[in-house]
Structure 1
């Protein structure tokens, strides 16, 4: 028996709560993605709340003047509800968005891809393609200050004199003045692959490394170790063409990708942690990619609750 459908008011209140929660550094992105995947209406509501937040921000000076004038004149509050919202939606939006917008700095804009990839064009003609279940934050509404909060994204950045694009990904900053590259953030690794131009990748506690076209940087998060390897330009963000292409990739990176593309939790036996994978997986195979990877690596997979776990051959 399916769960009863939520009311529009409930969905909008949840969208408001998530919009505020994602502005915090400790935001639970996995829980947010799970909420989005529960119902297509969640994505629609979140986008509408984000748009409303942007509209309020754009008109913040005039809203502040109205607020100041009302206080000075001791005018009674207008109790008429807005025509376009009502009930608890109006209360939630007024409390959670409109009033804080009078005093806070410009809002972050959050873009999320649910089960499908999503294309975004930012101001300045920067084009971004988000992989499934990935999230990008435009910090303080500035299209040159981005944060990859989860997953993977491909960036096509036109060169503009005097402009530098900065992308925060975990504890690293990726800087670019005009090129094409991808950034993949997993719990254990950061991967930056460059198809055209050059980018700079700098840990928050170390020196920057230059990554030119045809190279890929793999950094182990929390340990400060990184290595450069060669990558074919057409393999950068190959997921845009339905393939996941790997060359000596840590198994942790591969299973993080599979989790995003299948929507299932994927874990790896500790004895396989140091294994590497080179090969190609077809995204169209869906959960069949678990079998494909196991066969290519001569390992086994088994159900693990609602997810999948990779284990050595012969184990159960």
Structure 2
């Protein structure tokens, strides 16, 4: 019953809303990352540069960003978030000239993280086996074979185990809300990386992020069981949460319904967080990459209530609140400086 959502093709065209910036990026990569540039191409560039004042201004701006040492540092961080393979530079060189502008910046930015490409490709393999997935910014509701419901948050993947009398879901990555139909004879299981949530009928959320599983109970009762049997089972009542790491269960805590479950209504609430943490949260809903050149901004405290379907605007708002400025580049890149 596999049903994967199709991701955006690698070669799909992208254009910056600022035509001058889009053309400047095209020229930058052709001149700086495209190998030998003949006289004809150089003359064509000079004509373009002198055609309008906006051309020279755009080229100078992007050339400054390209040359910044912080750009390399920020680009190296992309290997944590990259979801697909980078475009090899030699492949970019073979593209027709009219196509290279839409992919060139992505190819150039990925040069800094090409070493991590194999590792990232291996990481993506479990997702390929999923029964249901969501892309960045997508929210999706599924009715399970027993009538239970689940809502997948952004960038999530699950596969199902309903063979025979089983009722089970494994969360590969992301965050999922469950509303489980009561069945006294069959427990419903949700497995994360380190935990197994066992219920007979209730509403709860399981989130797999980084090196931890988070379980939040909205209604009913659940037992959270660690994969290490020596660690005690945790019983939750409504409004409580627990986090399972590789070797422990956290103390039970209360959670904030608006902050932690706001995504069910398409909201993401940032409550007095450092910009770095806020970008990590909002960035889950953005189908692109965020590069912070001004690292001092990362510790500035920000707050806000944003729509998950307007993640780019949310990132710009957070950056502005921290005193930064944003530039949007082809290939889904946002640079904060």
Structure 1, unaligned runs of 5 or more: 6-28, 33-107, 311-315
Identify the residue that residue 134 of structure 2 maps to in structure 1: 113
Identify the residue that residue 27 of structure 2 maps to in structure 1: none
* 1:156 equivalenced with 2:176 (yes/no): no
Residue 270 and residue 178 in structure 1: after superposition, are their counterparts in 2 closer, same or farther (change >3 A)?
Answer: farther
What SS does structure 1 have at the residue aligned with 2:285? helix
Residue 202 and residue 4 in structure 1: after superposition, are their counterparts in 2 closer, same or farther (change >3 A)?
Answer: closer
What SS does structure 2 have at the residue aligned with 1:290? helix
Counterparts of 1:175 and 1:253, CA distance in 2: 31
What SS does structure 2 have at the residue aligned with 1:286? helix
**Which protein has the bigger strand share?**
1
- Partner residue of 2:204 out of 173, 181, 191: 181
Identify the residue that residue 130 of structure 1 maps to in structure 2: 152
Q: CA deviation at 1:259?
A: 3.1
Aligned Cα RMSD in Å?
4.1
What SS does structure 1 have at the residue aligned with 2:154? coil
Identify the residue that residue 245 of structure 1 maps to in structure 2: 269
Q: CA deviation at 1:273?
A: 9.2
Q: CA deviation at 1:231?
A: 2.6
Check whether the contact 2:275–2:319 (CA below 8 A) recurs between aligned residues: no
Q: CA deviation at 1:138?
A: 0.3
Counterparts of 1:274 and 1:198, CA distance in 2: 38
Check whether the contact 2:268–2:282 (CA below 8 A) recurs between aligned residues: no
What SS does structure 1 have at the residue aligned with 2:317? helix
Residue 3 and residue 112 in structure 1: after superposition, are their counterparts in 2 closer, same or farther (change >3 A)?
Answer: closer
Give CA deviations for 1:188-219 in whole Å, capped at 9, x if unaligned. 33322211112222321222222210122244
Structure 2, unaligned runs of 5 or more: 1-9, 14-81, 86-128
* 1:202 equivalenced with 2:225 (yes/no): yes
- Partner residue of 2:250 out of 204, 226, 230: 226
Q: CA deviation at 1:127?
A: 0.3
**Which of the pair has the greater relative contact order for Cα pairs under 8 Å at 6+ separation?**
2
Counterparts of 2:274 and 2:190, CA distance in 1: 23
TM-score, length-normalised on structure 2? 0.50
Q: CA deviation at 1:276?
A: 8.9
Counterparts of 1:175 and 1:301, CA distance in 2: 46
* Count of residue correspondences: 211
Q: CA deviation at 1:240?
A: 2.2
Counterparts of 2:297 and 2:211, CA distance in 1: 15
TM-score, length-normalised on structure 1? 0.53
